[in-house]
Chains A and B, each alone.
Chain A
Amino acid sequence: QQQVKQSPQSLIVQKGGISIINCAYENTAFDYFPWYQQFPGKGPALLIAIRPDVSEKKEGRFTISFNKSAKQFSLHIMDSQPGDSATYFCAASIRANAGGTSYGKLTFGQGTILTVHP
């Protein structure tokens, strides 16, 4: 019930291409879905987040698409650049009715290693 499944494990894209990473969740109580970007030797950095009352959110070259009925969400990176090469994590948490076992807890996908070739 608490799992978040992420795919693919790794992704290679040419500069200027579109990178797409997918996540699926099981717990319908999740109502906040952030994406994090992590470079080697650094902590994860919050990239963009979405709530289930919105089907799409765009910030610059990054877009989250959300399908509530399918319990899936995805990250699209447009015009991918070599500087985007990093590990990306999707996550989910409970915010609106947080309590007990949901306070301060993000449930993460396994991560996707993105490599953008110049």
Chain B
Amino acid sequence: KAGVTQTPRYLIKTRGQQVTLSCSPISGHRSVSWYQQTPGQGLQFLFEYFSETQRNKGNFPGRFSGRQFSNSRSEMNVSTLELGDSALYLCASSFSGVHEQYFGPGTRLTVT
């Protein structure tokens, strides 16, 4: 089976802009979780989607949002970018959200 794919791999944006990141889960997996990884805060949970519904959300501002499509692919959006949003954004795919999570390679976002 193909692994989790994320696009784009690298992104440079300017403060105030918005960005959309994409994640394609492992075939057959219906749950997609998103995480933010920074040197200071480590890996932090953003939200989880299952069957096009957000079931869980971490402690991030409303500027961070996401959605999931009927084929389980997911996107996350960050509006009004801030310098502190620079991070590696990882998505993880799971069969149901309570099974093992498998991570993609991440999208490296740099906000200038």
Centre residue among A41, A44, A95, A110 by max chain B CB count within 10 A: A44
Cβ-defined contact, A108 with B50, below 8 A:
no
Cβ-defined contact, B33 with A106, below 8 A:
yes
> Is B72's CB within 8 Å of the partner chain A?
no
Chain B residues with Cβ below 8 Å from A98 are: 97-98
Q: How far is the CA of A5 from the CA of B42 in the complex (A)?
A: 12
Cβ-defined contact, A102 with B56, below 8 A:
yes
Q: How far is the CA of A45 from the CA of B105 in the complex (A)?
A: 9
Centre residue among A94, A103, A107 by max chain B CB count within 10 A: A103
A75 to chain B, nearest CB (A): 16
Chain A residues with Cβ below 8 Å from B101 are: 34, 46, 104, 106
Cβ-defined contact, A103 with B106, below 8 A:
no
Q: How far is the CA of A42 from the CA of B94 in the complex (A)?
A: 18
Chain B residues with Cβ below 8 Å from A108 are: 42-44
Q: How far is the CA of A100 from the CA of B50 in the complex (A)?
A: 12
Cβ-defined contact, B33 with A111, below 8 A:
no
Answer whether A44 and B90 are a contact pair too, CB < 8 Å, given A95-B98, A104-B55: yes
A86 to chain B, nearest CB (A): 14
Question: Using an 8 Å CB-CB cutoff, how does the interface string of A1-15 with B read, 1 for contact, 0 for none?
Answer: 000000000000000
Centre residue among B45, B104, B105, B106 by max chain A CB count within 10 A: B45
- Sample of 15 more A-B contacts, CB < 8 Å, known A44-B43, A106-B45: A36-B103, A43-B105, A46-B101, A49-B100, A89-B42, A95-B99, A103-B98, A104-B31, A104-B48, A105-B33, A105-B56, A106-B33, A106-B101, A109-B42, A110-B42
A interface vs B, CB < 8 Å? 34, 36, 41-46, 49, 89, 91, 93-95, 98, 100-111
Interface pairs A-B: 6 shortest CB-CB: A104-B48, A43-B103, A104-B97, A108-B43, A104-B33, A103-B55
